[in-house]
Amino acid sequence: MLNGTTAEIKPREALRINPAKTCQPVGAMYASLGIHGCMPHSHGSQGCCAYHRSALTRHLKEPVISTTSSFTEGSSVFGGSANLNQALQNIFTIYNPDIVAVHTTCLSEVIGDDIPSIVKNAREAGKVPEGKYVIHANTPSFVGSHITGFANMTKAMVTYLAEKTGEAKDQVNVIPGFVDPTDMREIKRLAGELKANIVLFPDTSDVLDTPQTGVYEMYPKGGTTIEQLKSTGDSIATIALGHFASRPAAESLEEKFGVPASVGELPIGVTATDDFIDALRNYARVEVPASIVQERGRLLDLISDMGQYLYGKRVAIAGDPDHVISLVRFLLELNMKPVFVISGSMGNHFENRVKELLKDAVPEAKVKQNADLFELHQWIKNEPVDLLIGNTHAKFMARAENDLPFVRFGWPITDRMAHRVFPTVGYRGASRLINDIINAFLDKKDRECPEETFELVQ
Ligand code: SF4
């Protein structure tokens, strides 16, 4: 009631408060860094590029390289063609990459710069040396999220570079999705255990988690090589890990070259990892070795030992859609109850898939795409949960809710470092997640009852 009248409260539609996503170029820049010898190029103003680089650096704790078209007021009026021409000449002269991956920003998208034409003209004018490559992806940030940007740039790798020679290669393409370098390393380790020959693209391991040698290398040894990317058109199949981040590139390979696309989910948890191992086993025609079976068995042992601490706990989750879908699967395997599930990215598949997963175990769950952390906080205030899982930004909710047990998961994590070193994918990653969840509960108990000694019992 307002002044004696009934005021209709409309749901908030246009405004986002603490969005659970960031802008497309961040994802495109991250994907570009997964190509060996690549210089990402931000076609827009310096501020955008600086933000995208720092957003990645704050999560990865590594220097992130990128050049920029350095738009000024003049570019806004006359377009960014001259800037990109000059930039390409400077980049190849000064930094000498094998390939430049151009992504656009909001401003260049509003102007409507035709990147392929600009690059073609630059090449004809001799600003792109022979044998060097330039690819591009349109990444307007007024649609989609960093996940869309990652997907667009990964698809651009196929559009520009993949070839079909007619000579089939005994290899399987694997597209890992927007996961950490350590996750990409773990996917390669699992494939190695299986003795499956894969081309992982993009691959930021050994690019954004390089050892300290005292010598800075602008183009470290990691990253998918251009030759590998070219060869993806001759592969047996493509396993895309994630509907949102990886599917478009896999489908493009299928459409262009007839390479069958298998779109799965991020291998987080038991069954999602089983699915990945099974798909790889089938396509690569290999046997699952005892080492993998034992890894899986150790995870199952951990779950059965710790299940009593997890059973029936109500969980709120915020994160990127591919991550969250697999995490919901995993929490159900742990007999937990994901009651509130949001993603800042858009896409009906997210809501449909999560609701399908939860329809029997947690039919009362609230699931929302294109949502924000403010809304999730309102839900938690109205109906408290036992555990919150999300990125660093979600910690303020945990603090506000009487120090709610909180597990950092996904992107970005700027105030912890485990994600740099320990994967969340695979059976080992699932063990790490269980450890994080149990620790969150026990840390809370320790704080509440400092005099008591808690011990985990089997
Ligand atoms: S949202 Fe647009 S203007 Fe803002 S940083 Fe991202 S690309 Fe730049």
Confidence of residue 3 (pLDDT cuts 50, 70, 90): low
Confidence of residue 456 (pLDDT cuts 50, 70, 90): confident
Q: Are 392 and 415 contacting, i.e. CB atoms less than 8 angstroms apart? A: yes
Ligand 1: does its nearest atom lie under 6 Å from the Cβ of 222?
A: no
- On the question of pLDDT at 426 being above 60, the answer is yes
Domain boundaries, the chain: 24-161, 172-288, 291-448
pLDDT at residue 454 in the model: 76
CA 297 to ligand 1 center in whole angstroms: 46
Unique residue bearing structure tokens 């490559």: 133
pLDDT at position 10, please? 82
Residue-by-residue DSSP string for 220-250 = -S-SB-HHHHHHGGGSSEEEEE-TTTTHHHH
Across the range 82-93, mean pLDDT stands at 98
3-state secondary structure of 354: helix
Is the pLDDT score of 26 beyond 70?
Answer: yes
Q: CA 38, 422, 393: angle at the middle one, nearest 5?
A: 80
Instruction: Give the residue with greater pLDDT, 6 vs 44.
Output: 44
Q: Given a cut of 90, is residue 226 above it in pLDDT? A: yes
**3-state DSSP assignment of residue 149:** helix
In 3D space, the residue among 332, 169, 285 whose CA is nearest the CA of residue 235 turns out to be 169
Share of the chain above pLDDT 90, in %: 92
Token pair, residue 242, equals 């994630």
CA-139 nearest atom, ligand 1: 7
* Measured torsion, CA atoms of residues 368, 392, 390, 179, in degrees rounded to the nearest 10: 100
Catalytic choice (110, 143, 293, 449) = 110
One-letter amino acid of 201: F
Strand partners, 319: 343
Decide whether any atom of ligand 1 lies within 6 Å of the 105 Cβ: yes
Q: Which two tokens stand for residue 13?
A: 């539609």
What does the pLDDT average to over 328-357?
98
Residues pairing with 118 in the sheet: none
Is the minimum distance from the CB of 23 to ligand 1 under 6 angstroms? yes
Q: What pLDDT was estimated at residue 159?
A: 98
Q: Would you give the distance in Å from CA 166 to the centre of its chain?
A: 32
Span from the CA of 103 to the centroid of ligand 1 (angstroms): 12
By the 8 A CB rule, do 162 and 229 touch?
Answer: yes
Which candidate, 355, 174, 393, 171, places its Cα nearest to that of 276?
174
Residues whose CB falls within 8 Å of the CB of residue 50, separated by 6 or more in sequence, listed in order: none
DSSP string across 316-330: EEEE-HHHHHHHHHH
Q: Is the pLDDT of residue 335 over 70?
A: yes
CATH code of the domain made up of 291-448:
3.40.50.1980
User: Residue 272 belongs to what H/E stretch?
Assistant: helix 270-284
Q: Give pLDDT, residue 5.
A: 60
Q: Report the pLDDT averaged over residues 10-35.
A: 94
Residue 448 has pLDDT above 50, yes or no: yes
Q: pLDDT band for position 4 (50/70/90)?
A: low
Average pLDDT (321-348) is 98
Q: Do domains 24-161 and 291-448 have the same CATH topology?
A: yes
**Angle CA(220)–CA(224)–CA(225) in degrees, nearest 5?**
85
Task: List pLDDT tens digits, range 98-140.
Answer: 999 999 999 999 999 999 999 999 999 999 999 999 999 999 9
Residue-wise pLDDT tens digits, 27-66? 999 999 999 999 999 999 999 999 999 999 999 999 999 9
Asked whether 67 and 39 are in contact (CB, 8 A), the reply is yes
| Ligand 1 atom having least distance to the Cα of 52 | 5
Residue whose C-alpha is closest to residue 412's, from 147, 55, 63: 55
| Predicted local confidence at residue 23, as pLDDT | 95
Per the prediction, the chain carries an average pLDDT of 96
- For residue range 241-274, list pLDDT tens digits in order: 999 999 999 999 999 999 999 999 999 999 999 9
pLDDT at 25: 98
CA of 23 to the centre of ligand 1 (A): 6
- Is 110 a known active-site residue? yes
Check: pTM over 0.75? Answer yes or no: yes
- In this prediction, residue 209 carries a pLDDT of 95
Binning pLDDT at 50, 70 and 90, where does residue 279 land?
very high
pLDDT in tens, 288-325: 999 999 999 999 999 999 999 999 999 999 999 999 99
Q: Which atom in ligand 1 lies closest to the alpha carbon of residue 51?
A: 5
Confidence of residue 12 (pLDDT cuts 50, 70, 90): confident
Q: Which helix (H) or strand (E) holds 314?
A: strand 314-319
- pLDDT of 1 reads 45
Protein residue with its CA nearest to atom 5 in ligand 1: 48
Q: Show the beta-strand stretches assigned E in 321-391.
A: 337-343, 366-368, 387-390
Report the CATH number of the 24-161 domain: 3.40.50.1980
Fold assignment, 172-288: Rossmann fold (3.40.50)
Residue 106 among the catalytic residues? yes
Is the pLDDT confidence value at 436 over 70? yes
